[in-house]
């Protein structure tokens, strides 16, 4: 991938602040004392071995884990733009509209491409046909999907290829114009070409949205992320400028992980 | 490690060649196991096919048998009589609504007088009951032989007088009577004695008053009353003639049947004779067969006697039609109360159609041909489109299954209509909103319903639901519901409610499964896009599970159509097509069903009779319907499934 990560501006205020965050499923604690800041101008990658809690952190940020009965915050907080996410005055629905999410397994609804693209707007109560069409075109263009689907907007979304379906899911998320986009291994189910297209997309959109991406692909993290955070067994080991984390990590654990020697 | 230390292993070559020794009776054990499992799996299929063959074998003879019966029906002239008799039956309905109309018209005028008279009679009975002991004592004494001494009688009389006076004081006199009337009546009641044969004068006066009122009312509506009476008597002559012809036809039919039975018997004896080896027995069988010959019935001659009277019949019909029309023309327009007016309207509307039917019957008599053969198509039509299921009739049996089918279908629809929302909503709640503890409660409870024996539900229907519906139907602010107040406690709605209850577990469990199978990803995606819980349920989960829900509903329908015990106990078992002109209120009418009729009648009919075969035909239809419904359920599930993929 040609475009190198844009150097992060040091002065930018952190948009997401994770403070002494402890999180558990029932009695099984999975996140321990997390302290992490993410700036709005950065693409942040979260890496770490399977089961270390990356998805859990993402799902805590848009509170989609509220729907898991056993999930709970043990202590600490996450602030987004200074607001404590778990404070009672937070409107979860509005939060989710502004913090979009893309899942590992592409999951368009079994409906038309158009209906998928505008689903978020529909549930937000927008009925005007014209507005919906405009938003669908805008988001599909942003997701670099428009040219491929503009003639078959009313066909089933499930008829698209995997990569197209994943881009449709991205379009569906950005149709709501969120500030933050959480991506949980967005390319894990895709082939290298489809992966490259998504990465390209992220780099194009990075000025409009704050990306937080979970990935198991070290190369991908290198290619797209400004900052990378390494998790191990529910703890944050190191959060660094991506280049530094991969070339000269502070922590030996990080080094053994990024070089593939972690056992 | 030193390789020579390893135990020597057999040659690979020897290992991969099949060891031929392991066979059972020359068969590979693997194969045997496979066949064993295969055989078990195919048992179900084989049994299903056997059931189908059995049903069809018993039922298929119905068509020729019934054809023969219908042939006799025609040849013996029963059909000829029915040409007139059937339309004439409508007379009874019309006449009864006119009669009701008359009483409704008279009602407001005679009501007071009648109530006063009835109240007086009631008081008299009460007074007599209160002094019953003394009264009986006196009565017994009076009947004794020889009569007791006069002073003894006087004492008894005195006792009775005191008792009667006390009784007349203790009674409650309704406000229908004025104070003077009450005083007068009280005195008369106090004087009641078995020695007086006349009614108390007060009651006599009241009766007379009622008679006068009634006469006055009848005079006021003289037009209506005479028209009703005339119409009532109009078909008497025609009836007489038809009855005579019917008797004749029936006689002919019976002799045909007898000779047919003898012929069948003879055939059987001859067949038996063929197969026996013993010459003595053979001879006796043949002798017996020879004896089993009925006298030849000359049907043509018999029916000719009937058709010879066509002219006479037509004259009578014409006379009847004329007087019916006259009565219709003289019906007044104004009959006072709205009740009466409604009944009058009904009669007025029915009369012209009835007259027309009678006229057509008169012409049909001429074109009727005794020798026209009964086509198979007609026999099939008579079964599938016949509107009458009449069995054990002294006249003619008809096996038309439309009334049974309508009953079954209406009841099933009611059940599905009630059960679907309940089970689907319960499934959505359990699947999406309930906490784990609620789930643990709801699921087993609903599934337990399945374990309730249907006969127990039948009890509940008879004793509880029926009464509840009846009581509800009499609540005044519910009268806007069509069909209220209801006549019958046992009706299609009642059965439908109970069947709905029985269908809920099936529908609930399958719908819940369908919702459970909605991919987690859809739900996550919807939530992540800011949908509320309800939006996720109705925009994503239900549409994604709709195929499963629909097939759950269809399987519930299949369960309901096949259910027997509840409908037999609760549906009211009236074999008639429900009167759909009553609008949605039709659901409160009783009906019989496909399943119910089999359960009720199969035990009582003689094996192999046309009735028996007709019941098997019903069984075949029922079986086919169930198969179709189940097949539809699968098709729905598959169709939507393929759309999703
Ligand atoms: N719904 C849940 N209920 C209970 N425990 C859960 C749930 N989801 C995740 N966990 C547990 O939380 C821990 C962290 O899981 P999480 O999915 O966050 O890991 P991850 O880092 O995303 O792993 P991967 O890279 O495999 O996706 C794991 O031990 C997992 O078993
Ligand atoms: Mg994960």
CATH number of the domain within which A140 lies = 3.40.50.300
Residues of A with Cβ-Cβ distance to B532 under 8 angstroms? 93, 123
Distance to chain B for A161, nearest Cα, Å: 13
Using CA positions, which residue lies closest to atom 5 of ligand 1? A25
Which ligand 1 atom is at minimum distance from the Cα of A52?
A: 21
Measured in degrees and rounded to the nearest 5, phi and psi for residue A262 equal -70, 130
Q: Which of B435, B525, B528 shows the shortest C-beta gap to A109?
A: B525
Q: Residues near B115 by Cβ (< 8 Å), separated by ≥ 6?
A: B176
For B451-472, letters b (16+ CB in 10 Å) and e give eeebeebbebbbeebbeebbee
SS3 content of chain A, % helix, strand, coil (to 5): 35, 25, 35
Q: How many structural domains comprise chain A?
A: 1
- Domain annotation covers residue A2: no
Q: Is residue A42 part of a domain?
A: yes
pLDDT at A263 (0 to 100): 66
Domain membership flag for residue A215: yes
Domain assignment present for B326: no
The last residue of a domain, from among B191, B217, B243: B217
Tell me whether strands A28-39 and A14-25 are parallel, antiparallel or unpaired: antiparallel
* Residues of B with Cβ-Cβ distance to A111 under 8 angstroms: 543
Give pLDDT, residue B643.
52
In this structure, which residue's CA is closest to atom 24 in ligand 1? A50
Residue with the two structure tokens 């019935």:
B297
Residue A55 C-alpha to ligand 1 middle, in angstroms? 7
CA B432–ligand 2 middle distance (angstroms) = 24
Q: Where residue B623 sits, what CATH number does that domain have?
A: 1.10.3720.10
Nearest CA to ligand 1 atom 18: A53
CA–CA dist A136, B117 (Å, integer): 86
Which ipTM score applies to this complex? 0.88
Number of domains in chain B: 2
- pLDDT at A95 (0 to 100): 93
CB within 8 Å of chain A, chain B residues 533-552: 535, 539-540, 543-544
Containing structural domain, residue B602: 402-644
Residue-level pLDDT at A210: 93
Q: Which residues of A touch B530 (CB under 8 A)?
A: 93-94, 96-97, 120, 123-124, 176
| Cα–Cα distance, A208 to A181 (Å, whole number) | 10
Q: Which of B217, B248, B266 is the last residue of a domain?
A: B217
User: Does residue B521 belong to any structural domain of this protein?
Assistant: yes
Q: Which one of A110, A124, A169 has the shortest CB-CB distance to B530?
A: A124
The answer as to whether B41 is a domain residue is: no
Cross-chain CB nearest to A107 (options B519, B535, B643): B519
CA distances (Å), origin B229, targets B204, B322, B397, B486, B623: 28, 15, 34, 31, 52
Is the Cβ pair B529, A93 closer than 8 Å? no
Q: Which domain holds residue A198?
A: 8-258
What's the whole-model pTM score? 0.78
Note the pLDDT tens digit of each residue in B95-107: 888 888 888 888 8
- Compute the distance from residue A186 Cα to the ligand 1 centre, in Å: 17
The confidence score (pLDDT) of residue B4 equals: 60
Is residue B228 situated within a structural domain?
no
Residue B372 within any structural domain of the chain = no
Interface test with A, best of B433, B437, B528 (most A CBs within 10 A): B528
Q: In this predicted structure, what is the pLDDT of residue A241?
A: 93
Q: How far is B298 from B304, CA to CA, in rounded Å?
A: 10
Own/partner long-range contacts of B581-586 (Cβ < 8 Å, ≥24 apart):
B582/B482, B582/B483, B583/B482, B583/B483, B584/B482, B584/B483, B585/B481, B585/B482, B585/B483, B585/B484, B586/B410, B586/B483, B586/B492
pLDDT at residue A60 is higher than 50: yes
Residue pairs between chains A and B whose CB atoms are closer than 8 Å: 70
- Flag residues of chain B having pLDDT under 50: 1, 645
Chain B nearest CA to A157, separation (Å): 10
Mutate to test the interface with B, among A121, A123, A182 (most CBs of B within 10 A): A123
Contact at CB, A107 and B436, closer than 8 angstroms = no
Structure confidence at residue B429 (pLDDT):
93
* Residue A11 C-alpha, separation from nearest chain B C-alpha, in angstroms: 31
Percent of chain A past pLDDT 90, that is, above it, reads 72
**Residue A3 placed within a domain:** no
Query: Among residues 432-471 of chain B, which lie with CB inside 8 Å of chain A?
Result: 435-436
CB contacts, 8 Å: A123 with chain B:
526, 529-532, 535, 539
Nearest CA distance, A58 vs chain B (angstrom): 11
Contact predicate B553/B416, CB 8 Å: yes
pLDDT above 70 as % of chain A: 95
What's the pLDDT at B73?
Answer: 86
Residue A127: inside a domain: yes
Q: Would you call B643 and A103 a contact, using CB atoms and an 8 Å cutoff?
A: no
Any B CB within 8 A of A93 CB: yes
Contact B210, B118 (CB under 8 A): no
Task: Residue B435: list chain A partners with CB under 8 A.
Answer: 69
Q: Judge whether residue A112 has pLDDT over 90.
A: yes
Burial class (CB in 10 A: 0-12, 13-18, 19+), B139: middle
Torsions phi, psi for A213 (to 5 deg): -125, 130
Measured between alpha carbons, how far is B390 from A121 in angstroms, rounded to an integer? 64
């Amino acid at each position: 991938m040609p475009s190198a990560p844009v150097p992060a501006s040091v002065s930018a205020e952190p948009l997401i602040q994770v403070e002494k965050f402890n999180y558990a499923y029932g009695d099984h604690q999975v996140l321990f004392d997390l302290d992490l800041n993410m700036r709005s101008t950065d693409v942040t990658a979260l890496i770490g071995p399977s089961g270390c809690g990356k998805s859990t952190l993402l799902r805590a940020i848009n509170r989609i884990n509220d729907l898991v009965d056993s999930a709970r915050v043990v202590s600490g907080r996450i602030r987004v733009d200074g607001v404590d996410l778990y404070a009672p005055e937070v409107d979860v629905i509005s939060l989710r509209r502004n913090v979009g999410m893309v899942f590992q397994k592409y999951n368009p609804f079994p409906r038309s491409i158009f209906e998928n693209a505008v689903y978020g707007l529909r549930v937000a109560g927008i009925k005007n046909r014209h507005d919906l069409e405009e938003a669908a075109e805008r988001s599909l263009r942003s997701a670099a999907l428009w040219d491929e689907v503009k003639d078959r907007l009313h066909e089933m979304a499930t008829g698209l290829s995997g990569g197209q379906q994943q881009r449709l899911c991205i379009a569906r998320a950005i149709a709501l114009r969120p500030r933050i986009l959480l991506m949980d291994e967005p390319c894990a189910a895709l082939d290298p070409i489809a992966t490259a297209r998504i990465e390209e997309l992220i780099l194009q959109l990075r000025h409009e949205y704050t990306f937080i991406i979970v990935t198991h692909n070290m190369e991908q993290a290198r290619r797209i992320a400004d900052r990378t955070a390494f998790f191990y067994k529910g703890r944050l080991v190191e959060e660094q400028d991506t280049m530094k984390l991969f070339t000269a990590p502070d922590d030996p654990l990080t080094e053994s992980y990024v070089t593939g020697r972690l056992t | 490690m030193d390789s020579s230390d390893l135990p020597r292993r057999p040659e690979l070559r020897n290992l991969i060649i099949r060891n031929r020794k392991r066979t059972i009776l020359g068969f590979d054990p693997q194969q045997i196991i496979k066949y064993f499992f295969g055989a078990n799996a195919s048992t179900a299929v084989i049994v299903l096919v056997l059931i189908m063959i059995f049903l069809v074998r018993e039922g298929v003879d119905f068509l020729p048998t019934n054809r023969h019966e219908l042939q006799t029906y025609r040849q013996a002239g029963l059909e000829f009589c029915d040409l007139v008799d059937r339309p004439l039956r409508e007379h009874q309905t019309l006449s009864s609504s006119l009669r009701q109309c008359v009483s409704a018209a008279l009602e407001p005028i005679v009501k007071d007088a009648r109530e006063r008279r009835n109240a007086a009679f009631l008081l008299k009975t009460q007074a007599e009951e209160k002094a019953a002991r003394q009264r009986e004592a006196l009565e017994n004494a009076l009947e004794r032989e020889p009569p007791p001494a006069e002073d003894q009688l006087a004492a008894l009389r005195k006792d009775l007088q005191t008792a009667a006076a006390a009784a007349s004081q203790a009674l409650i006199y309704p406000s229908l009577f004025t104070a003077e009337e009450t005083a007068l009546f009280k005195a008369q009641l106090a004087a009641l004695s078995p020695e007086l044969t006349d009614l108390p004068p007060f009651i006599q006066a009241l009766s007379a008053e009622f008679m006068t009122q009634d006469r006055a009312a009848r005079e006021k509506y003289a037009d209506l009353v005479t028209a009703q009476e005339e119409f009532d008597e109009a078909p008497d002559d025609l009836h007489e003639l038809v009855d005579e012809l019917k008797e004749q036809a029936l006689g002919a039919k019976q002799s045909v049947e007898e000779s047919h039975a003898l012929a069948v018997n003879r055939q059987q004896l001859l067949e038996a004779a063929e197969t026996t080896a013993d010459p003595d027995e053979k001879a006796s069988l043949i002798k017996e067969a020879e004896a089993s010959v009925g006298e030849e019935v000359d049907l043509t001659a018999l029916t000719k006697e009937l058709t010879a009277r066509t002219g006479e019949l037509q004259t009578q019909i014409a006379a009847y039609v004329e007087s019916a029309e006259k009565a219709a023309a003289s019906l007044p327009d104004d009959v006072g109360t709205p009740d009466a007016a409604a009944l009058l309207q009904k009669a007025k509307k029915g009369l012209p159609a009835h007259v027309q039917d009678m006229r057509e019957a008169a012409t049909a008599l001429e074109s009727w041909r005794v020798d026209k053969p009964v086509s198979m198509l007609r026999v099939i039509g008579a079964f599938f489109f016949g509107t009458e299921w009449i069995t054990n009739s002294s006249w003619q049996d008809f096996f038309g299954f439309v009334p049974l089918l309508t009953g079954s279908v209406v009841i099933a629809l009611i059940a599905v209509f009630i059960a679907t929302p309940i089970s689907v909503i319960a499934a959505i709640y359990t699947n999406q909103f309930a906490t784990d503890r609620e789930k643990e409660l709801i699921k087993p409870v609903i599934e337990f319903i399945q374990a309730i024996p249907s006969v127990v539900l039948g009890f509940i229907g008879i004793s509880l639901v029926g009464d509840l519906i009846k009581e509800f139907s009499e609540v005044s602010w519910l009268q806007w519901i069509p069909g209220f107040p209801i006549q019958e406690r046992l009706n299609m709605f009642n059965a439908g409610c109970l069947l709905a209850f029985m269908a809920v577990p099936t529908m609930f469990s399958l719908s819940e499964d369908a919702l459970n199978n909605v991919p987690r990803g859809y739900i996550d995606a919807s939530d992540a896009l800011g949908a509320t819980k309800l939006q996720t349920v109705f925009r994503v989960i239900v549409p994604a599970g709709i195929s499963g829900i629909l097939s759950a509903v269809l399987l519930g329908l299949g369960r309901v159509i096949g259910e027997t015990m509840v409908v037999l106990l609760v549906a009211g078992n009236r074999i008639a097509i429900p009167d759909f002109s009553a609008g949605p209120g039709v659901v409160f009418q009783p009906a019989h069903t496909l399943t119910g009729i089999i359960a009720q009648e199969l035990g009582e009919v003689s094996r192999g009779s046309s009735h028996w075969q007709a019941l098997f035909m019903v069984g075949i239809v029922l079986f086919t319907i169930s198969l179709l419904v189940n097949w539809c359920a699968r098709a729905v599930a598959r169709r939507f499934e393929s759309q999703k993929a």
